[in-house]
């Protein structure tokens, strides 16, 4: 698949911002990923890259919805 997920899940299901997100995105791009789910808190601090589709997520329910319901997995 061309989808990757980065982030940290809190005890209440919230997706927390992570350090060095730019470095992680760069490495995932090198590996061929085209879409990356990242914490919404990290999304507002990033520069736009037209080759990568970044989606900010706030909680685990949103991640599950994106992974299984929208993609039909």
Full 3-state SS string of 5-56 = ECCEECCCCEEECCCCHHHHHHHHHHCCCCEEEEEHHHHCCCCCCCCCEEEE
More confidently predicted of 28 and 1 = 28
Q: What is the pTM of this model?
A: 0.84
pLDDT digits (tens, 9 = 90+) for 42-65: 988 788 778 899 999 999 999 999
Q: What is the mean pLDDT of the chain?
A: 90
Which H or E element spans position 54? Answer: strand 53-57
């Amino acid at each position: 698949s061309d989808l990757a997920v980065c982030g940290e899940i809190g005890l209440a299901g919230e997706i927390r911002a992570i350090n060095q997100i730019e470095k992680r995105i760069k490495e995932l791009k090198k590996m061929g990923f085209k879409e990356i789910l990242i914490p919404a808190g990290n999304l507002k601090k990033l520069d736009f890259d037209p080759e990568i589709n970044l989606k900010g997520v706030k909680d685990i329910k949103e991640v599950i919805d994106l992974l299984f319901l929208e993609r039909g997995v």
